[in-house]
Structure 1
């Protein structure tokens, strides 16, 4: 695709060479919001000592109307969602009402970004990273998170794995736009090259997700981080949802933060015709920035790759297409492996049970992810949906 046309699409949908990530770290808010930034900076110790609610209650009004540029709106979303989830979950029992000084600006900022007013993948991953050494290239080992709720290396690594994957997505998105152009020009060779490059990038995503266990300990994830990533939908501890004070008199329900909120893999699903019956996949789009979910719709409408390859009846295209789907399936299986280690095994350990191959299939699939989904059935179905989308399957 011509570079000027690609640039127009990137600008329209808030994309960069790094995909859905910003190209550089988002700066902290201006001095007028300094006391809010200070509380965020001290969240690990405040949460540990159960002092977060008191600290937030002392804050002055968050003047969201003073936010001027896109960077500030995104940083405000990070600040307000981290504070909100910390306010709710830093003490037991969890809060059932978000105070007005948090709820009102959070809702206003979320409306501006076109995203649900709760902590999401965008808050902790897309908008919350920085480079350690600017003289060195972007890479997982040269990344750091800007703000954390527990301050643990496990929390930071959990976020940064997804940041590194999203960056690889920049190449995938560029290749997808090339494919769209090549279909219009009936350029088979260009499509083959683009698919091979996509498959290579998907392989890199697999390599990255394999590194989760290097610095994210299952016990710390389960006991320290996971509670803060929860939401107030399908949450047994908050069965009635959450009151957003001075926003609405009735409780609202939102899923917690989850990697399923990444626009990247919904774009990949759209390109390769991977269909999911679960309504969760559609509902979760409201947890993505508005322009990003609009890009998913753009791809669904304009990239009819599967139909084109079927009509072309070329073995080379068919093979490259199916190779990509096989790698997506591999990625989802690797993700399932992490869920097994970080959630399913931890549930059984907490109950004093030992999970073995013999009894795994007989255990109830009641474990829920941070996003509130019934994990095992959801992930297994996602893997099957991916496998079934291969041409000729």
Structure 2
């Protein structure tokens, strides 16, 4: 039997911290993060941050009591690093200065992740509640860090946080299946399908406070992938890393693993697998556990099983609509922020999901 490490789904079990109480000397990084949206409007931003003395995280292994502050350190520096490489309105650059590269790579090594801001830093750890006695949901949450002075970016991030908060019920049902495979499968599947439809309703709210033009021109460039970037002072060749993307969320991969949805081998499938490298290590471990579950399609209630697949397809259909409206209609580059041909990918995933339904 496994013990749950996911009381809030894939969100951290405690609200993210936004001050360095254990290491007050890092408050300088908090100030840098808060100033970042203004600094990025300055053409001398890169020159300024390349001369800052960025203190290293003082540990060589991760301690549970310090993990929240390490995540904050990674979040703040991750935004600065992506801002440096992808600064809007400035010429392309492919080299990260040593004063940023060394401390950031060190922190990312501790977190067992590639040295680039990913979905975890952009969304999973990037929120606070206004009222801690109320749920983690739209209306009661705000971001800790942004690239731009636009509520549109706050809204984009917070939509994802709300969706992740609702996934707690999905993870709970999956953990129950891992612990008690003989439990009421029909009831679990109906609950999972219902939660996904709640997430669909949240995803549909994207246009309420997010302009396609502002998203595309002002803050999407900051979460793009890195191509042949040199991390000065670090002994590695110029590297390519996938940028922040919802494909790095663990929700859909968890459902894919649970439902045993088959996919034809393809470059797209390779991209999907690579996205796991950008997930927190504990999320990857849960996905491996769920993959070990036996295929229950043959014994599942047809209506309940298909309800989950229909809900997954609905989520992806809304996602592909926003991908078209906010990105594909404005650019000829078929790659998303994660470096994948996302429109083709999303369409294929919908088709393969629906093809797996009980006949």
TM-score (norm 1): 0.84
Query: How far has the Cα of 1:249 moved from its partner?
Result: 4.7
**Secondary structure, in 3 states, of the residue corresponding to 2:331?**
helix
Higher mean C-alpha displacement, 41-50 vs 90-99? 90-99
Residue 125 of structure 2: aligned partner: 127
Alignment partner of 1:225 out of 219, 224, 228? 219
Within 5 Å, which residues of 2 pair with 1:1-393? Answer: 8-10=3-5, 15-29=6-20, 30-65=23-58, 69-90=66-87, 92-183=90-181, 186-187=182-183, 190-233=184-227, 241-276=228-263, 277=265, 278-301=269-292, 303-304=293-294, 307-310=295-298, 312=299, 317-347=301-331, 366-392=333-359
Distance 1:16 1:136, change over 3 A: closer
Query: How far has the Cα of 1:247 moved from its partner?
Result: 0.8
**Secondary structure, in 3 states, of the residue corresponding to 1:17?**
strand
Aligned-partner Cα distance in 1 for 2:351–2:277: 24
Residue 353 of structure 1: aligned partner: none
Aligned partners of 1:144 and 1:156 also within 8 Å? yes
Query: How far has the Cα of 1:389 moved from its partner?
Result: 1.9
Give RMSD over aligned pairs: 1.8
Aligned-partner Cα distance in 1 for 2:105–2:284: 19
Query: How far has the Cα of 1:216 moved from its partner?
Result: 1.0
Distance 1:42 1:61, change over 3 A: closer
Aligned partners of 1:43 and 1:52 also within 8 Å? no
More helix by share: 1
**Secondary structure, in 3 states, of the residue corresponding to 2:128?**
strand
Distance 1:373 1:57, change over 3 A: same
In structure 1, list runs of 5 or more residues that go unmatched: 234-240, 349-365
Aligned-partner Cα distance in 2 for 1:95–1:55: 15
Matched length: 348
TM-score (norm 2): 0.92
